[in-house]
Structure 1
Amino acid sequence: MASKREPQAGLHTDEATRAMLLLMPRVIGRLKRTPLPEQLQSMNLAPRHLSLLAYLLFDGPMLVNQLAARLEVTPSTVSLMVSDLSRQGVVERQADPDDGRRTIVAITQEPSTRTAIERWLANGANSWRKVFEPLTPEQRAMFVETIEAYEQEASKASPAETAD
């Protein structure tokens, strides 16, 4: 579905802020309504699992410390997530052949589980590809950087939250 607004040369800061405040709840609502494939429904997967699985699917097997750095969480948090997903047969762990103290994590090679994960991620990936395709590499980078900056700014505690 195309945007309901006519393309504009630009927006003032307040116009862009208003547009995003109205748009983001719809986007989040749509993401929350994205159904898990039937095979994954009993697994209690959360958004944090989506990010971890996306990294493994797109970038291949990784060390726990690499996943922690990319997810911006502690290695112990990743280890807990990996343990949970491993018990459910979603990921596999193996010792790093170069250093047995390190653990490499990969999406399971079990075909039906792997396919279910790919299907879960496919809608979002296909949507992003479609909207990014007409943009220049610079425009794509600006969009990603803007969303990252928003997430960082929004994660800061507001003065009301820090007041005693």
Structure 2
Amino acid sequence: MADADGIGVDEGTRTMLLLMPRLVGRAKRTPPPEPLRSFDLAPRHLSVLAYLLFDGPLTVNTLAARLEVAPTTVSLMVGDLSRKGVLERREDDADRRRTIVHIADAHRPAVEEWLSASARAWREVLAPLTPGQRRLVVDTLRAYEEALTDADD
């Protein structure tokens, strides 16, 4: 049952069950731009590229923390993308033990193109919301992912 401003749990569940496959299908149908197609990029690569595009150069450990995966996992992805020339690694001038990762200048425009439509759409739908409403959307999607993970275990 729902109040005057909302929808019931069953209606919300039904709507999301229909909506989520369309969203996933649309994401899968959005191929990388031509300059990136030969690199065989996967969704996990997209997450790394999104952080580096929006947040600038980061260390492997920072990327791992943000992606919520082990540093070795990120290190493997960074190594793969570095060999392909999509990413570049350099020593941190402040601490030579740390490696800073960034998108190679030659591929930055293609990465921006690949992420721009999705980023524009999220900005368009999140901008009119209050900070609390945006937090609710993000937290709900995160909780949904966790519930699916728990169901898999």
Normalized against structure 1, the TM-score is what? 0.87
Q: Which runs of 5+ in 2 are unaligned?
A: none
Match of 1:105 among 93, 98, 101: 101
Following TM superposition, by how much is the alpha carbon of 1:45 offset from its aligned partner in structure 2, in angstroms?
0.4
Q: CA deviation at 1:157?
A: 3.8
1:48 corresponds to 2:29: no
**Using the alignment, how far apart are the partners of 2:132 and 2:71 within structure 1?**
33
Counterpart in the other structure of 2:59: 63
1:140 aligns with 2:134: yes
Per-residue deviation, 1:109: 1.9
Question: What does 1:143-154 align with in structure 2 at a 5 Å threshold?
Answer: 143-154=137-148
Taking the aligned partners of 2:53 and 2:147, their CA distance within structure 1 comes to 28
SS at match of 1:101: coil
Instruction: Trace 1:95-134 onto structure 2 (pairs within 5 A).
Output: 95-110=91-106, 113-134=107-128
How far did 1:149 drift?
Answer: 1.0
Give deviations 1:65-86, integer Å, cap 9, x for gaps: 0001111111111111011101
Scaled by the length of structure 2, the TM-score of the pair is 0.93
Rounded Cα–Cα distance in structure 2 between residues aligned with 1:39 and 1:70: 27
Q: State the shift of 1:98 in Å.
A: 2.1
3-state SS, counterpart of residue 94 of structure 1? strand
Which of the residues 10, 13, 16 maps onto 1:14? 10
The one of 52, 75, 82 equivalent to 1:86 is 82
Q: Which ranges of structure 1 fall in alignment gaps of 5 or more residues?
A: 1-7
- Give secondary structure in 2 for the equivalent of 1:89: coil
Determine helix, strand or coil for the equivalent of 2:38: helix
How many aligned positions are there?
A: 150
**1:26-69: per-residue Cα shift (whole Å, max 9, x none)?**
00000000121000000010001111000000001111000011
* CA RMSD across the alignment: 1.3
Q: State the partner residue of 1:33.
A: 29
For residues 133-156 of structure 1, the C-alpha deviation after alignment (integer angstroms, 9 at most, x for no partner) is 222222111101111111111111
Shift of residue 114, structure 1, vs aligned partner: 0.7
Runs of 4+ in 1 over 3 A off after TM superposition: none
